A and B are shown apart, each in its own frame.
Chain A
Amino acid sequence: MGTSVLFGVRTERGVFCMFLLLLLFCVGGKCEHQESKPTSQTNLPTVKPFPNEPQAFPSEERANLPVFTMDYPRIQLPFEFTLWVLLASFAKIGFHIYHKITIWIPESCLLITIGLIVGAIMHAVKEEPPAVLSSNVFFLYMLPPIVLDSGYFIPTRPFFENIGTVLWYAVVGTLWNSIGIGLSLFAICQFEVFGLQDINLQENLLFASIISAVDPVAALNVFEDIGVNEQMYIVIFGEGLFNDAVTVVLSSMFTFLADMPIVESADVFRGVARFFVVAAGGVLFGLLFGFMAAFTTRFTHNVRQIEPLFVFMYSYLAYLVAECFSISSILAIVTCAITMKYYVEENVSQRSCTTIRHVVKMLATVSETLIFFFLGVVTITITEHEWNWAYIMFTLLLAFIWRGIGILVLTQIINPFRTIQFNYKDQFGLAYGGLRGAICFALAFTLPDTINRKNLFVTASVAVIIFTVFIQGISIRPIVEYINIRRTNKDLHTINVEVHTRVMEHVVCGIEDLCGQWSHYYWKDKFKKFNDRILRRILLRDNRAESSIVSLYKKLELQNAIELLDTPMGDLSAAPSMVSLPDERKETSRPKKKFLTADVRKMHDILSKNMYKIRQKTMAYTNKYNLPDDSRTREILIRRHASIRRSVRASSFREPSEQNIPKSQKYYSLQPGGDLETAFALRRRSHGGGSGPQFSGASPHSSSRSLVPMKRLNTIKESGSAGEQPATSAHPRSTSPGVDVLDERGPRSLGGSSLRGWRPVPASRRRSSDRVNEDPTDSECTGERDEPVRPPQLPPPRGWLPENQDPGDNEAGNPLLRHSSKGS
């Protein structure tokens, strides 16, 4: 649609074509209503082509006060830009409607294809290509978001574990490719047959350095999907990131050299020296601005609205300043992002953190989409393509060969230094994953006009990109799957794995200390100490160190809690399908249910919902286009903190009940868990009553010990419910042995759930029911009495709130406590 407007303004034919095209794009009716706006504008210019200038008082003597004016030229640039972005985004929506397409054909291919189509149409109507892509626009506005994104979302731990290899491939590999391809192309240019003698060495090197920038987006997506081993993934990721930096430096250097008639050896040394200055400078500026950003966010807790801004401003500042001193701006922004991420995310509020992540992703996606899209458009609309079969074919061939040899040779050199070495399959994956992309195109397209065969270079770059993106991009998935590259189980985020990773790291670190080895574990340890002692003190507002085990644990608990919250209140009794049970559980429990009575099923629902669900939490990798989805847990965290605080406060002040009620009510309403707890408690008591000791009666078979593991879950407030898990894990599946037990419990638990139906009634009532135990109806009267005292009784989340640790508080909430003492 965007384009339609542009053309409508000038050529009538265009409007027509564009509409057809847009219909193609707008799969599904989504864009319809947006479309109407542009259309209406499309016709306007014909009515009144170029209206008066905007004046406060248009000359009254000449004409009447115009009722309607229009000033298109004024808004043209931003307007067109917006429409381009929209168009590209629509295309993206379009092909994500059919997921299968993007699995087999990388998104970049599709974008280029659409770009090609649009370009063809524009060409047909003799339209000018968009002027947006100039050198400045690219380097100042489009590149920063892309690298910021990569830097911000780089998986830190694997990255630092493999940093040597990453840099090795990125720096030496890129140099290798540039020089190798450049020299061999120069050799080929010497053959008279091809008519390429006018391309000198520097220009060849320049061109070679441009096309050695790999941009493995497509490859990364594939690798991530099929879960290749972490080392390989991070090496590709890091290489793509850092070789952009190297390429930009190299190509700017060669651009400079290309103008010099004679290159002396001194210039070469100066070039090498400059290379290091540029790299070191970039890193320095990055660190500087990163720490500044972290330090600034330490003080922003009163102005949450602008918190996210600092991340963007500081990183952009780092970029611009670096650009100003012509040092590597990419390195600067990447270092800045890596440095500040850790601290900033701890300083800012959860919401700001989410905002930052979303905005970073969004900007990057837009930039990249646009670049690929323009790539398609420009490929067609550029009139002065210079197609030289020999040069282009050799470029393709050489780019492929040198990349292959480069990886092979470099890996042989680096392998002895690696603990886990790359085997040949890995190397093949690395080599084949070297797609060229956005950066390469942009660099070629923004070459200065002084390069005499610029057109040839652009054409050749486009050819390389299209070849690699289409051929390699599409074939990489089948190939990697076929040769069966070493894979890793990428989502292993269970508590146990986290615990054992830590244990193993400590062991390895300890053994290294024992034998006096220094390695990255050693450095990691040292940095951690430095970080805890100094950096965190300075940069963080709340600088208590937190073990990652604890944070993972919290995350899991939160996710659990969220699920509880998510289930619609009051309809626990609704169809089981609504329940967010993990599938396998459903599977296992379903066939076994002999009792299909509603009661039993409800029981199962309740139990399984409150089970501690073990599941894969976090994504190990960040998808290029998607955010790691932990936003939900974070948001809940906020709510939870707030509510906890509220309840604590309430309890400590013992406010009169009237004031208290609304608060606690709100608080409780968050937790379906509450009633469950009462339901359980009920059950338990009743059993206890039956056979004396509280637990053993419940099911003669279930030893109280079996409950032991579960009781601990009461760290969280839902805890009540979570605490029951032991029982839950056993029961939902219980088959024949448990039958009678289930039956017995059925009606009670029902009672519990039906309580839920009374939503508006404060949870306290439910609770009270657990004290009074037996009859839910009783609870109604007792409920009122209880309310004022209620808040203190919630088992507070222990993990987070050391303050109210008083065990006395818990008595009502956790029958578990008592059991535990008994059990263990």
Chain B
Amino acid sequence: MGALQSSPGQHEYSDLAEKTGFSFRQIGVLHTRFKQLSHNEETLRRDHFNEIPDLACNPIRAQIVEAFFDRRNFRENGEGTVQEIGFEEFLVVMSHFRPPSLHMTQEQRESVRREKLRFLFNMHDTDNDGTITLEEYRHLVEELLSLSETLEKNTAKSIADAAMLEVASISMGHMEPDEFYEGITFEHFLKLLNGFEIESRMNIRFLRMDTTTLCK
């Protein structure tokens, strides 16, 4: 562990480690990557992200990049977006992808789960009004399907609408005729993905960059 991250100073790292829960080694790896991405500058801007070739074909690249500039993901109750991020923010955003540890109590597991889902939710809720509206959902599905040329927009729309309807029926139980389902709130989002084991799926191991982990 020692050699790799001796350069930036253990102090700085231990603060970060405390804040984000990463190990020194992981922070070291990420720092290297950060510098690589930012061309050794202090901060990262959106165009830095857009330069990453592997990311180019990701259908929801825009959302992913945006997530890094979204104050809601910085764990400090902020809102709105920023223009550039430093290493700390970078790390904090990344920390949403830390795998859960093996020994966790039920509450811890639940909070990890909430946090990860929150991250996803924020990604979808682009206007930050606390709900994923039908338009936002449609947009999402359209982007997801944007890679396959054979589908037209209508399909995406209809899928989003069907999905929305599904949400309505799951989360509202039944609706009075005069009710209108405005959008998915976070509570509904939780309920919707109840049983979807996000805590065991939305994980990255953040180790050596060239490791190939084939054993999930």
* Interface residues in chain A, defined as those with a beta carbon under 8 Å from any beta carbon in chain B: 161-165, 168, 229-231, 414-415, 417-421, 423, 488-489, 492, 494-497, 499-504, 506-520, 523, 529, 544-547, 549-550, 553, 556-557, 588, 612, 614, 699-703, 705-706, 708-715, 725-726, 729-735, 737-738, 741, 798-799, 802, 805, 824
Contact = CB atoms under 8 A, between A and B. Distances in A.
Given A705-B180, A730-B175, A418 B148 contact: no
Given A513-B58, A709-B165, 10 more contacts: A420-B200, A495-B163, A496-B163, A496-B170, A516-B33, A588-B174, A703-B180, A712-B165, A735-B176, A802-B152
Contacts of B179: 706, 730
Contact of B155 (A420, A507, A550, A612): A550
Interface string B39-51: 0000000000100
A614 B177 contact: no
Contacts of A700: 178
A554 to B, nearest CB: 9
B144 A612 contact: no
A550 B160 CA distance: 11
Contact of A710 (B58, B159, B161): B161
A421 B102 contact: yes
B213 A419 contact: yes
Contact of A504 (B159, B201, B212): B201
B162 A229 contact: no
- Chain B, interface size category, equals 35 or more
A545 B211 contact: no
Contacts of A230: 197
Interface in B196-216: 196-198, 200-207, 209-216
B193 A713 contact: no
A708 B197 contact: no
Contacts of B205: 419, 517, 519
Given A499-B140, A547-B145, A614-B169, A418 B162 contact: no
A715 B158 contact: yes
Nearest to A418: B215
B44 to A, nearest CB: 10
Interface in B137-185: 140-141, 144-145, 147-148, 150-152, 154-155, 157-170, 173-181
Nearest to B207: A517
A342 to B, nearest CB: 16
A809 B148 CA distance: 26
A18 B161 CA distance: 63
Given A518-B211, A706-B179, A614 B166 contact: yes
B16 interface: no
A595 to B, nearest CB: 15
Contacts of B158: 553, 712-715, 798-799
Nearest to B99: A419
Contact of B55 (A495, A510, A708, A737): A510
B30 interface: yes
**Which has the most chain B C-beta neighbours within 10 Å: A489, A496, A508, A802?**
A496
B169 A514 contact: no
Nearest to B216: A161
Contact of A709 (B154, B181, B201, B206): B181
A625 B166 CA distance: 32
B92 interface: no
B123 interface: yes
Interface of B: 29-30, 33, 36-37, 49, 52, 54-55, 57-61, 63-64, 67, 94, 97, 99-100, 102-103, 120, 123-124, 134-135, 140-141, 144-145, 147-148, 150-152, 154-155, 157-170, 173-181, 192-198, 200-207, 209-216
Contacts of A506: 58-60, 64, 144
Contacts of A544: 148, 150
Contacts of B201: 420, 501, 504, 508
Contacts of A496: 163, 166-167, 170, 192-193
A550 B166 contact: no
Contacts of B52: 513-514
What is the predominant secondary structure among interface residues of chain A facing chain B? helix
A230 B195 CA distance: 12
Nearest to B34: A515
A553 B162 contact: yes
A230 B176 CA distance: 38
Contacts of B174: 588, 729-730, 732-733
A709 B134 contact: yes
B196 A420 contact: no
B165 A725 contact: yes
Nearest to B208: A517
B161 A517 contact: no
Contacts of A802: 150, 152
A511 B216 contact: no
A163 B213 CA distance: 10
A322 B154 CA distance: 49
Given A421-B102, A612-B162, A518 B176 contact: no
B202 A165 contact: no
A502 B145 CA distance: 10
25 contacts: A164-B214, A231-B216, A414-B215, A489-B195, A494-B166, A504-B198, A504-B201, A506-B60, A507-B120, A511-B97, A513-B52, A514-B37, A515-B206, A517-B211, A519-B204, A520-B216, A544-B148, A614-B170, A713-B165, A715-B154, A730-B176, A733-B175, A734-B176, A737-B177, A799-B154
Contacts of A512: 204
Contact of B120 (A503, A614, A714, A824): A503
B176 A515 contact: no
Nearest to A421: B102
Nearest to A730: B177
Nearest to A802: B152
A168 B214 CA distance: 11
